[in-house]
């Protein structure tokens, strides 16, 4: 390895080079635009045009802003993902499509993709390509690490040796791919192309050299090697050669312009245009013109339309300010009563898609809106916000009575709870500490998926009631919350093995009717739960857990509230009414949770008399709820609808599971 790669003498010059690269393909890398695939019967989606190119062949390039030629080391070119944006002239607002395959070998960079853009730019590229316009490709990349090779020294990159002075971009990151028309501007360095050796690149900076290029069929000769100057033996020979070249230039211009472009022909002859420049002027004039959208120009961006739809369905403005900001919400305020018709039309206009001025039967407007990218995104976000608001406004009793855990998949998981049945013991005179014992109990749980699907149909849009349609995600939000309580109370009421005399957490008999005395007995039973399940003496130590929740059916709700709120009781020791008040020992001791599920005959084991005491689940959980990856709220996603469905589909789902855990954390009283 030579010791001459020391950039110190040129550090200042190296620091002044740009941080970006524009790789322009050479003659071998001209874009190939394939014909669209034949349409699939019954599929409304338009067929996409595809393209492919060998975008860079590993040679040195003359790039604007770089003092010396540049080599991009393909071994250090990083591609973050295969799908990169395809633009026109490196303009982020001029979307052509995206790549679907990028291959990097030792000597070349190959790119393939589809023309997926829906605006006028993509249509312009397709139309001009069909007319024979020789589009070229320019790849934008960031120069992450650049080294300078001094004059007379060599370095290896892309499987070949390169002689300085030049730069080698050892590390770079591919950004985007652009369609460009090289030679469209006299200042364009048409001679700058990948794949040529340094000594073939003219360093005179003579921009007139582009006029020496002649068109070959439908593509431009982008060779960087200047043509050899003819040798003249006399002034007469030189004059003849110049006259012949001028005659050929004028003949070529007239052939290109024909009878269709007399103005271009006159300017080209008068101003000395080259045939290449004339050809580009003719191609530009024949490009299809973008439709006049002055009557349908976009007035609002996607965020404003989304905020307006949220206002229209009644989502709280304070929450919207946090999501969109005051400026966006202020711009959306005039549209706070927007309907589905206008929302669909504005989404199409915002992406430059022409829609009829009059809605009519809605066919053209709905088709345009459904083909836009913003409408599905707006509907999905508004539906998610509507669903979430309804979900959060629906009380979920299970969250108060159960611990909440997380699982990473749908497999059954095991939970182990350690039981301290040893405890501290007196230290012996010799100072020896005795080993304590931690026994454990095993519990299981697993998550499943619960959900439903809905469709935004053509009828919904024509009916123009956005708020009525949003009643569906509201119902989904409430249904998601109710499904958690439904699963919990189903398990609670039919779980005969969990509440049993053997577990010391079931009280039955004539004295269990809800009242101050039976509540005292239930509390005492709860407090006397033991540390371990075994019969050893240490297993019989009390765990001293206090109940915090009193769970009753709606039939006992008022009686429970009176018992918790009264300072004194007007009954005697036998439970009979009396005029002599006594202090209420249960006042404000427990938080009341009253649910209709407990007595509804829809649930197996329901009873209007049975009631429960529960511990705080953060101390000791009787039941556990698990959510997949910790997501506790439902989600709405867009889904592809079959061809025979005229509409836009959405699905909503939530992944969770409920199972019993520690029987010592709850007591059931039958209330007979």
DSSP class per residue in 32-98: EEPPPPPPPTT--SPPPEEEEEEEE-S-EE--TT-SS-EEE-GGGEE-S-S--EEEETTEEEEEEEE
Count of CA atoms in the C-beta half-sphere (13 A) of 539: 8
Report the distance separating Cα 251 and Cα 247, nearest Å.
6
Please indicate, yes or no, whether residues 408 and 440 belong to a single structural domain of this protein. yes
Please indicate, yes or no, whether residues 344 and 273 belong to a single structural domain of this protein. no
Please indicate, yes or no, whether residues 371 and 384 belong to a single structural domain of this protein. yes
Report the distance separating Cα 96 and Cα 108, nearest Å.
23
- Residue 608: how many other CB atoms lie within 10 Å: 15
Please indicate, yes or no, whether residues 264 and 192 belong to a single structural domain of this protein. no
Nearest to 221 by CA among 174, 267, 274, 292: 274
The pTM assigned to this predicted structure is: 0.50
- Residue 187: how many other CB atoms lie within 10 Å: 8
| pLDDT score, position 221 | 33
Please indicate, yes or no, whether residues 610 and 482 belong to a single structural domain of this protein. yes
- Count up the domains in the chain and report the number: 4
Please indicate, yes or no, whether residues 328 and 417 belong to a single structural domain of this protein. no
Please indicate, yes or no, whether residues 350 and 337 belong to a single structural domain of this protein. yes
Report the distance separating Cα 257 and Cα 615, nearest Å.
90
Enumerate residues 6+ apart whose C-beta is below 8 A from 358.
none
Q: Specify which residues 639 forms β-bridges with.
A: 649
Query: 236 lies in a domain?
Result: no
Please indicate, yes or no, whether residues 49 and 77 belong to a single structural domain of this protein. yes
Report the distance separating Cα 322 and Cα 24, nearest Å.
44
| pLDDT score, position 534 | 59
Please indicate, yes or no, whether residues 149 and 245 belong to a single structural domain of this protein. no
Beta strand 166-180 pairing with 85-88? parallel
Query: 533 lies in a domain?
Result: yes
Please indicate, yes or no, whether residues 548 and 411 belong to a single structural domain of this protein. yes
Give SS3 for 549: strand
Report the Cα 365 to chain-centroid distance in Å: 27
Report the distance separating Cα 125 and Cα 290, nearest Å.
12
Locus of tokens 């007239």: 254
| pLDDT score, position 189 | 33
DSSP category for residue 642: P
Query: 63 lies in a domain?
Result: yes
| pLDDT score, position 182 | 62
Tokens representing residue 605 in the block: 């084991």
Q: Yes or no: say if 671 and 607 are a contact pair by the CB < 8 Å rule.
A: yes
Query: 467 lies in a domain?
Result: no
Give SS3 for 434: coil
Ranges of the chain with pLDDT below 70: 1-17, 24-47, 64, 182-235, 287-299, 417-425, 434-440, 464, 532-539, 570-581
Please indicate, yes or no, whether residues 419 and 309 belong to a single structural domain of this protein. no
DSSP category for residue 598: G
pLDDT in tens, 583-604: 888 899 999 999 999 999 999 9
Q: Specify which residues 547 forms β-bridges with.
A: 615
Enumerate residues 6+ apart whose C-beta is below 8 A from 324.
303, 306, 307, 332
| pLDDT score, position 381 | 85
Query: 166 lies in a domain?
Result: yes
| pLDDT score, position 284 | 79
Nearest to 493 by CA among 600, 394, 397, 399: 600
| pLDDT score, position 418 | 57
Report the distance separating Cα 256 and Cα 267, nearest Å.
13
| pLDDT score, position 623 | 95
Give SS3 for 40: coil
pLDDT in tens, 515-531: 988 999 999 999 988 87
Query: 430 lies in a domain?
Result: no
Parent domain of 260: 241-286
Please indicate, yes or no, whether residues 490 and 562 belong to a single structural domain of this protein. yes
Nearest to 484 by CA among 385, 392, 382: 392
Helices 302-312 and 340-350: angle between axes, nearest 10 degrees: 170
| pLDDT score, position 45 | 60
């Amino acid at each position: 390895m030579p010791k001459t790669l020391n950039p110190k003498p040129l550090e200042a010059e190296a620091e002044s080079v740009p941080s970006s690269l524009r790789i322009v393909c050479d003659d071998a890398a001209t874009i190939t635009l394939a014909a669209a695939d034949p349409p699939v019967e019954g599929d409304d989606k338009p067929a996409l045009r595809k393209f492919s190119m060998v975008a860079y062949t590993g040679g040195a390039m003359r790039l604007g802003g770089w003092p010396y030629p540049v080599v991009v080391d393909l071994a250090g070119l990083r591609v973050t993902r295969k799908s990169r944006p395809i633009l026109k002239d490196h303009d982020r607002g001029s979307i052509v499509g995206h790549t679907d395959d990028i291959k990097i070998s030792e000597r070349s960079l190959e790119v393939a993709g589809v023309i997926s853009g829906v605006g006028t730019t993509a249509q312009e590229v397709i139309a001009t390509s069909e007319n024979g316009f020789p589009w070229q490709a320019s790849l934008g990349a960031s120069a992450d690490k650049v080294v300078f090779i001094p004059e007379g020294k060599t370095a290896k990159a892309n499987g070949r040796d390169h002689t300085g002075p030049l730069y080698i971009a050892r590390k770079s990151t591919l950004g985007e791919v652009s369609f460009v028309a090289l030679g469209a501007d006299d200042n364009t360095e048409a001679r700058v192309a990948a794949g040529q050796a340094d000594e073939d690149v003219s360093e005179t900076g003579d921009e007139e050299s582009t006029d020496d290029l002649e068109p070959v069929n439908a593509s431009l000769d982008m060779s960087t090697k200047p043509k050899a100057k003819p040798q003249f033996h006399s002034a007469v020979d030189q004059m003849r050669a110049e006259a012949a070249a001028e005659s050929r230039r004028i003949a070529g211009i007239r052939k290109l312009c024909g009878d269709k472009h007399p103005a271009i022909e006159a300017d080209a002859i008068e101003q000395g245009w080259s045939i290449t420049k004339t050809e580009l002027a003719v191609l530009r004039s024949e490009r299809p013109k973008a439709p006049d959208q002055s009557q349908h120009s976009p007035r609002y961006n996607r965020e404003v339309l989304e905020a307006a739809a949220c206002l229209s369905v009644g989502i709280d403005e304070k929450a919207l300010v946090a999501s969109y900001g005051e400026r966006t919400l202020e711009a959306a305020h005039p549209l706070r009563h927007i309907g589905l018709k206008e929302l669909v039309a504005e989404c199409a206009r915002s992406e430059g898609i022409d829609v009829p001025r009059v809605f009519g039967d809605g066919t053209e407007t709905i088709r345009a809106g459904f083909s836009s990218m913003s409408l599905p995104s707006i509907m999905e976000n508004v539906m998610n916000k509507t669903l979430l608001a309804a979900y959060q406004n629906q009380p979920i009793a299970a969250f108060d009575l159960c611990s909440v855990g997380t699982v990473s998949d749908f497999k059954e998981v095991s939970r182990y709870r350690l039981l301290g049945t040893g405890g501290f013991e007196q230290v012996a005179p010799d100072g020896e500490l005795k080993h304590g014992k931690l026994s454990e109990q095993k519990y299981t749980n697993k998550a499943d998926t619960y959900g439903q699907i809905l469709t935004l149909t053509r009828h919904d849009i024509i009916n123009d009631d956005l708020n009525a349609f949003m009643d569906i995600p509201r119902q989904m939000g409430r249904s998601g919350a109710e499904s958690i309580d439904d699963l919990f109370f189903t398990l609670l009421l039919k779980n005969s093995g969990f509440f049993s005399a053997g577990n010391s957490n079931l009280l039955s008999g004539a004295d269990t009717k809800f009242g101050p005395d039976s509540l005292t007995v239930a509390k005492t039973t709860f407090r006397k739960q033991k540390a371990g399940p075994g019969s050893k003496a240490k297993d019989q130590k009390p765990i001293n857990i206090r109940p915090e929740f009193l769970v009753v059916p709606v039939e006992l709700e008022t009686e429970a509230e009176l018992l918790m709120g009264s300072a004194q009781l007007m009954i005697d020791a036998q439970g009979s009414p009396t005029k002599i008040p006594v202090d209420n020992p249960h006042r404000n001791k427990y938080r009341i949770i009253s649910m209709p599920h407990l007595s509804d005959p829809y649930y197996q084991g329901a009873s209007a008399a049975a009631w429960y005491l529960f511990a705080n689940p953060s101390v000791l959980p009787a039941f556990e709820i698990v959510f997949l990856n910790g997501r506790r709220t439902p989600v709405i996603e867009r889904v592809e609808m079959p061809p025979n469905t005229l509409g836009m589909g959405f699905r909503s789902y939530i992944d969770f599971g409920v199972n019993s855990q520690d029987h010592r954390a709850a007591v059931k009283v039958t209330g007979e």
